[in-house]
Structure 1
Amino acid sequence: MDTYKKKELVVGAVMLCAGLFYLILTMNLPRKGTIDASTVPYVLAVALCLLGFLQLLGARKAVQPEADPDEGAPKTVADYPTVLKTLALVAIYIALLETVGFLIMTVLYLYAQFTVLTPHDQKVKHLSYAITAVIASIAIYFTFRHGFDLLLPAGFLDL
């Protein structure tokens, strides 16, 4: 068995084991009904198990590619400032979430993250970023609050 096939099998086995571990942890969550806070973890655990199983099946027939398709492509340089800005934004979001509240912090975080992730050669679209951040935050808030019956930090708004 060649090295490429072994690597593919290892990836599939690790995915399947991680999915099974996650599924076992999910089974320990308290249940309130058919659709509750544990529904999404169940879906994710089953999906991870399925992907691991499919990876194992595909690895049996795996053939090492003749040439690397990215061989002639120009090398990209890691953008460390963007990574550091993202980590800082996540840390600020977590630190202020309880005090300021989910809606306000999520709008601010999403808008700032959209701005950070905008490529340098493109113009920042402030209005569309702000509208997208507001709509996404409201949709997420009401989905969790009324759909899953979970309380999110209200902060200043106390809805």
Structure 2
Amino acid sequence: MATCNKKELLIGVVMLGVALGYLLMTLQLPGHSGIDAAFVPTLLSAMLCLLGALQLFSAFTSVPANVAPSDSESDAAPAERSDVATVIKTLTLIVGYVALLNPVGFPIMTAVYLYLQFVVLTPLDTRCNHLLYALIAVVTSALIYLLFREAFDLMLPSGLLPF
């Protein structure tokens, strides 16, 4: 088995192990009839188990690519730096989102976070469509807030908004 497949296999095993542990913890949550606080964690853990199984299946069925010549290593270095910068920016956005969620509120912070995350994840050679990003962020934030408030009857922090 090639080194690449061993890494993919290890990732799949770890992902499936974490998913099964998470599933066992969510099954210990007290349940009620219908949709309750245990529904979303159970759903997420089931999806994570599915992703882990797909990762394992992919590791066993994929054919390893041949190692490219050393010329491609110089091309990969800028992309790798860009990936590290994107991860650092994403982690910074997550920390800022969590820190400001309660005082500013879910609707505003989620819209701001989504917009900034869209900008961060836009490839460098692609022009950002700021209007579309802002529209998607605001609509998504409002829909999620209303879904939790009206359908699940769970209050999210409204922060600066008067409702």
TM-score scaled to structure 1, two decimals?
0.75
Equivalent residue for 1:77?
Answer: 80
Shift of 1:113: 1.6
What's 1:157 paired with?
161
| Mapped partners of 1:12, 1:126: distance in 2 | 36
Partner residue, 2:105: 101
Q: Which residue of 2 aligns with 1:122?
A: 126
Specify every segment of 5 or more residues in structure 2 that has no aligned partner in the other structure, as ranges. Answer: none
Q: Tell me what 2:20 maps to.
A: 20
2:127 partner letter? K
Q: CA deviation at 1:30?
A: 3.0
Distance 1:36 1:137 in 2: 21
How far apart, in 2, do the equivalents of 1:30 and 1:23 lie? 14
**CA contact 1:110–1:133 (8 Å) conserved in 2:** yes
1:42 equivalent in structure 2: 42
Cα deviation, 1:58-103, whole Å, max 9, x if unaligned, reads: 87xx4673x5167477533231333222222222111111001000
Matched-pair identity in %? 47
CA distance in 2, matches of 1:19, 1:113: 26
Query: RMSD of the alignment, in Å?
Result: 3.1
The structural deviation recorded for 1:147 is 2.0
Structure 1: 5+ residue stretches without partners: none
1:2-46: CA deviation from partner (whole Å, max 9, x where unpaired) = 577877765555444323311221022233432122112212323
What amino acid maps onto 1:123 in structure 2? R
User: How far did 1:108 drift?
Assistant: 1.1
TM-score (structure 2 length as normaliser): 0.74
Amino acid of the structure 1 residue aligned with 2:158: A
Q: Match for 2:34: what amino acid?
A: T
Does 1:148 pair with 2:152? yes
Following superposition, which runs of at least 4 residues in structure 1 exceed 4 angstroms of deviation? 2-13, 50-59
- Could you say if the C-alpha distance between residues 57 and 82 of structure 1 is closer, same or farther in structure 2, counting changes exceeding 3 Å? closer
Q: Distance in 2 between matches of 1:144 and 1:57?
A: 35
Q: Please state whether the residue corresponding to 1:77 is helix, strand or coil.
A: helix
User: Is the Cα–Cα contact under 8 Å of residues 29 and 38 in structure 1 kept in the other structure?
Assistant: yes
Supply the distance in 2 between the matched residues of 1:138 and 1:19 (Cα, whole angstroms). 30
From the two aligned structures, give the one with the greater helix fraction: 2
